[in-house]
Chain A
Amino acid sequence: MKRRGRGMACMWYPIGFTVAANPSAAVVKVNEDGTATLLTGTVETGQGSLTILAQITAQELGIATDDVHVVSADTDATPMDTGAIASRTTYVTGNAARMAAEKAKLTLFEVAAPLLGVKPTQLEAQDHKIFVKGFPQRNMHIGDVANHARVVSGQPPIGSASFNPETLALDPETGQGKPFGTYVYATQIAEVDVDDETGEVEVIRVVASHDCGTAINPMLVEGQVEGGVAMGVGFALEEEMLFDAQGRHINPNLTNYIMPTSLDTPDIEVDIVDSYDPTGPFGAKGVGEPTLVPTAAAIANAIYDAVGVRITSLPATAEKVCKALQAKREQQPKQIGTGAALDGAASINTAVQ
């Protein structure tokens, strides 16, 4: 019989490396028509980070995402970057890109200021225009300013900058210190059906509420969360690299190493928690890795809710759940976890290995 259960798990996760410096540098060049090029040493590995970086650069310059071309991942052409790791690209490379764009923008402001009859500090860039703060009708198109910068002022608008999260070393004995610049938080709740005869677990639905600071691009945040939850389902229920007694792989192929297909992936509802981090670019933090962190725990708790067995080792394969159910049936009379067992140190794990 199929039994339904629900379980939750929350988590925290840091952005960037543990104490170690993990800087990113960026260069922004504004073209004569007001479009721009961002040079970054990070790598697009599928997350959409280049789109995010284009959005951050565009926002700072007051232009659209499509106006920014990103050149990436070439050690000859792009500035150093710690890379696509540790959920750091939006926060660290994003800060560098924003600061580089800001420097290019300040050159544009210097060029535009005498033309608009104000000081550079009185200018703002928005919607493809550079305008006087408080007097939006006194404006110039960013392309006209950029062109003037090159052909008249001789000041090509180029900015470069770097960013490294602020950390403090950990005390070697107590581990006390400031290992990371910032953290994100999330909760996932899973609904599962467990077949109490076969032990088979089906994840029906996952609600995922994630904090990423400002969502630079909600669609890409959703994509990260949906992919992370799917990976978490695999971690929870299916995936395991197996070795024989001599230490050789038994299942180094996708026939016997089972990972989630479209049929195993639940309905995923993504909820982006309102949040703003003043240390991130436009308040953004990151979202790549944390999306998978709470999934397995939420599923394990849902399995417990459905059939009352605590899975203590992953993956919770049908065989393992079935075995646990059998063990539970055998021990039914002395079920633990009840009030009487709570005097002093009580183990509430029916260890299932």
Chain B
Amino acid sequence: MAEKPKVIEKPDVLERPDILKPQAPAPLVAFPIEVVVPEGRQQTPAVGQRASRADGRLHGLGQTKYIDDMYFPNMLFAKIKRAGIASARIKNIDTKEAEAMPGVVAVITGRDIPCNSFGPSLKDQPVLADTRVFHAGDGVAAVAAVSEQIATEALEKIKVDYEVLTPVLDPLESLKLETPGVHAPSANIYGHKVIKKGDVEKAFAESDHVFEGTFRTQMVEHVPLEPYACIAQWDANGRVTIYSTLGRITLGRADVARTLGIPMSRIRIVATVVGGNFGGKNEIRAEPAMALLSKKTGRPVKCVFTRSEEFTSSTTRHPLIMDYKTGVTKQGKILGRKIRLVLDGGAYCSWSETTLGKACILSAGPYNIENLYAEAFVVYTNKTMTGAMRGFGAPQVCFAYESHMDDIAKALGIDPLEIRLLNAFDEGSLSPTSQKLHSVVVKESLLRAAKRFGWNGIGDGVGNGNGA
């Protein structure tokens, strides 16, 4: 059982007289000390049990301590100034007025970051933008103050002089060689992948019918209910402890070590409870900046994103533009498929390389296709960076290949279930990369879902769906 909460002394009465200590002890928070352990947790064998979660009780009691529920004596609160411009050159950042505000303890900019770049594959992302702004959600300065409100007010006092540049927003524009580079001199196409098998043109020539379709998907945010949060605490041994909403602490520590230029042995990252991830918390965000603010002030520093920052300044799902061309026999057997995917990578690479790879490999669908040509590009645009999100490109390509499949089925007069069963992988099928697949149950899943649903063919597509 968790300890009963204690009253925590609030600091800074001298610096900010309106922040007062709680006037009386906190109300008693009652909870049962001993409660029966749910049955499933006590059964053996353990595997296969509907065991309840170890954290379920604390969640329900409101006693799980997320980062925003943690407080350390003398803690400061940080806020990050956002550019609000999609593409710009930073000519000057004047933080003097903000620094002079009562209650503001420290301000840093990108120039204070020892090595201002990170990323899981390409290190193209700054902790705080220093010379260039690549998307509107870029941070340009961070303020630590005795209260969140003062930190927020201080952001207004930071004066940034920008030379506004024309943003590249359309991924298809970005794909063109003549389009100015978002990260010039680097090219806008920063990832490319090909999966090639058999002879797709020959397959099209031998097909009874060839179908084409273009599909697009949108940019989506993860929306974890807990916004990004971290607390950094630098100690006198030069060691920093960072509590963070990170799904990947091993990578996080490497990124913090690199950006701060300190050994990993001096960094501790703790991510005990994270309030939802879905891929959006798989790389560092403000951790190095908070560590530096803590180092500069000698005090713990907490940063919690606003809901708006969670949208503008964390990663998102890649929008895709997907061209499909498929050759089939009269019976609906797929002979060849050609695919082109363009991924809008946003301002930084983040997890684009992985998304590109998975999208490309999975784009043919769970089908035996001997002749395949799938090509995928990921391009920079001046929009929020796209990164890891539940499915890494798979929901996008699945929308395309399964919509396309139904179009083909409809045109050939074949039931959608039948055409899938005709083409689906079997045990031992070769994937698009010629990997021999094992424990393949796609047909079982089709048949089970159809049975459970009561699938008996579809409607006529003109509004009389026979489910009615």
In their complex, do chains A and B touch, with some C-beta pair under 8 Å?
yes
Task: State the A residues within 8 Å of B (CB).
Answer: 1, 3-14, 17-20, 41, 43-46, 48, 50-51, 54-56, 58-59, 62-66, 70, 72-76, 80-86, 126-128, 170, 173-180, 182-183, 185-189, 191, 196, 207-211, 213-220, 228, 231-232, 234-235, 239-241, 243, 245-249, 251-254, 257, 259, 269, 271, 273-279, 282, 285, 288-290, 292-298, 300-302, 304-308, 310-315, 337-339, 341-342, 344-349, 351, 353
CA distance A76 to B267 in the complex (A): 8
Contact B282 A8 (CB under 8 A): no
Most buried by B among A180, A234, A305, A313: A305
Stretch of B11-19, B23-31, B289-297, B451-459 on the interface side: B451-459
Contact A349 B435 (CB under 8 A): no
Contact A6 B465 (CB under 8 A): yes
Contact B247 A85 (CB under 8 A): yes
The answer to whether B157 has its CB under 8 Å from any CB of chain A is: no
Most buried by A among B136, B219, B279, B465: B465
* List of B residues within 8 angstroms of A249 by Cβ: 136-137, 311-312, 384
CA distance A235 to B277 in the complex (A): 16
Contact B220 A235 (CB under 8 A): yes
A-B contact pairs, 28 of them (CB 8 A): A5-B465, A9-B398, A10-B424, A13-B391, A17-B354, A43-B274, A45-B274, A46-B274, A56-B47, A83-B251, A84-B247, A86-B392, A126-B45, A175-B196, A185-B442, A211-B444, A216-B48, A217-B48, A252-B307, A253-B311, A273-B441, A273-B448, A297-B401, A301-B406, A304-B406, A310-B403, A310-B407, A348-B408
Contact B53 A48 (CB under 8 A): yes
Known: A12-B442, A191-B467, A214-B48. A337 touches B249 (CB 8 A): no
The answer to whether B194 has its CB under 8 Å from any CB of chain A is: yes
Contact B50 A219 (CB under 8 A): yes
Contact A228 B390 (CB under 8 A): yes
Contact B248 A85 (CB under 8 A): yes
Q: How far is the CB of A293 from chain B (nearest CB, A)?
A: 5
CA distance A339 to B208 in the complex (A): 12
* List of B residues within 8 angstroms of A211 by Cβ: 439, 441-442, 444-445
Contact A347 B218 (CB under 8 A): no
Q: Which 9 A-B pairs have the closest CB atoms?
A: A247-B86, A83-B248, A297-B402, A45-B277, A58-B46, A252-B311, A175-B195, A5-B465, A12-B366
Contact B250 A80 (CB under 8 A): yes
Which residues of B in the span 298-314 have a Cβ within 8 Å of any Cβ on A?
307-309, 311-312
Contact B216 A313 (CB under 8 A): yes
Q: How far is the CB of A104 from chain B (nearest CB, A)?
A: 15
Most buried by B among A62, A269, A344, A349: A349
* List of A residues within 8 angstroms of B446 by Cβ: 8, 10, 187, 209
* List of B residues within 8 angstroms of A341 by Cβ: 411
Contact B196 A173 (CB under 8 A): yes
* List of A residues within 8 angstroms of B136 by Cβ: 247-249
Contact A65 B195 (CB under 8 A): no
The answer to whether B340 has its CB under 8 Å from any CB of chain A is: no
Known: A5-B467, A247-B167. A11 touches B84 (CB 8 A): no
Known: A43-B274, A58-B44, A175-B193. A50 touches B55 (CB 8 A): yes
The one of A41, A180, A353 that contacts B250, using a Cβ cutoff of 8 Å: A41
The one of B43, B307, B388 that contacts A64, using a Cβ cutoff of 8 Å: B43
The one of B307, B391, B434 that contacts A293, using a Cβ cutoff of 8 Å: B391
* List of A residues within 8 angstroms of B113 by Cβ: none
The answer to whether B365 has its CB under 8 Å from any CB of chain A is: yes
CA distance A321 to B49 in the complex (A): 44
Contact A85 B279 (CB under 8 A): yes
* List of B residues within 8 angstroms of A293 by Cβ: 391, 394-395, 398
* List of A residues within 8 angstroms of B316 by Cβ: 241
Contact B213 A312 (CB under 8 A): yes
Which residues of B in the span 411-453 have a Cβ within 8 Å of any Cβ on A?
411-413, 416-417, 420, 424-425, 431-435, 437-442, 444-446, 448-450, 452-453
Known: A10-B445, A240-B219. A177 touches B433 (CB 8 A): yes
Contact B468 A4 (CB under 8 A): yes
* Other A-B pairs, 5, CB within 8 Å; known A64-B46, A219-B52, A308-B462: A43-B249, A175-B360, A189-B450, A241-B218, A312-B216
Stretch of B1-9, B34-42, B72-80, B100-108 on the interface side: B34-42
* List of A residues within 8 angstroms of B84 by Cβ: 248
The answer to whether B190 has its CB under 8 Å from any CB of chain A is: no
* List of B residues within 8 angstroms of A312 by Cβ: 213-216, 403
Which residues of B in the span 180-230 have a Cβ within 8 Å of any Cβ on A?
193-197, 209-221, 223-224
Contact A83 B250 (CB under 8 A): yes
Q: Nearest CB to that of B225 among chain A residues?
A: A46
Known: A3-B464, A85-B282, A346-B209. A241 touches B425 (CB 8 A): no
Q: How far is the CB of A162 from chain B (nearest CB, A)?
A: 12
* List of A residues within 8 angstroms of B412 by Cβ: 342
The answer to whether B62 has its CB under 8 Å from any CB of chain A is: no
Give the A-B contact count at a CB cut-off of 8 A.
461
* List of A residues within 8 angstroms of B44 by Cβ: 58, 62-64, 126-128
Taking residues whose C-beta sits less than 8 angstroms from the other chain, chain B's interface range is: 35 or more
Known: A58-B46, A247-B169, A293-B391. A51 touches B416 (CB 8 A): no
CA distance A293 to B358 in the complex (A): 12
The answer to whether B261 has its CB under 8 Å from any CB of chain A is: no
Contact A252 B449 (CB under 8 A): no
Which residues of B in the span 340-356 have a Cβ within 8 Å of any Cβ on A?
354
* List of A residues within 8 angstroms of B440 by Cβ: 183, 185
CA distance A344 to B365 in the complex (A): 23
Contact A9 B167 (CB under 8 A): no
Q: Nearest CB to that of B351 among chain A residues?
A: A85
Known: A289-B390, A297-B402. A180 touches B435 (CB 8 A): yes
Contact B361 A175 (CB under 8 A): yes
Contact B439 A348 (CB under 8 A): no
Q: How far is the CB of A291 from chain B (nearest CB, A)?
A: 8
* List of B residues within 8 angstroms of A187 by Cβ: 442, 445-446, 448-450
Q: Nearest CB to that of A353 among chain B residues?
A: B216
CA distance A288 to B388 in the complex (A): 13
* List of A residues within 8 angstroms of B434 by Cβ: 176-177
Known: A63-B46, A64-B42. A308 touches B214 (CB 8 A): no
Known: A73-B270, A301-B402. A7 touches B416 (CB 8 A): yes
The answer to whether B119 has its CB under 8 Å from any CB of chain A is: no
The answer to whether B337 has its CB under 8 Å from any CB of chain A is: no
The answer to whether B60 has its CB under 8 Å from any CB of chain A is: no
Most buried by B among A247, A259, A275, A341: A247
CA distance A25 to B401 in the complex (A): 37
The one of A46, A207, A214, A342 that contacts B209, using a Cβ cutoff of 8 Å: A342
Contact A253 B307 (CB under 8 A): yes
CA distance A55 to B48 in the complex (A): 8
Contact B461 A83 (CB under 8 A): no
CA distance A248 to B270 in the complex (A): 34
Known: A75-B269, A183-B437, A308-B461. A235 touches B395 (CB 8 A): yes
* List of A residues within 8 angstroms of B411 by Cβ: 337-339, 341-342, 346, 348
The answer to whether B115 has its CB under 8 Å from any CB of chain A is: no
The answer to whether B333 has its CB under 8 Å from any CB of chain A is: no
CA distance A295 to B264 in the complex (A): 42
The answer to whether B253 has its CB under 8 Å from any CB of chain A is: yes
* List of A residues within 8 angstroms of B51 by Cβ: 51, 54-55, 65-66, 217, 219
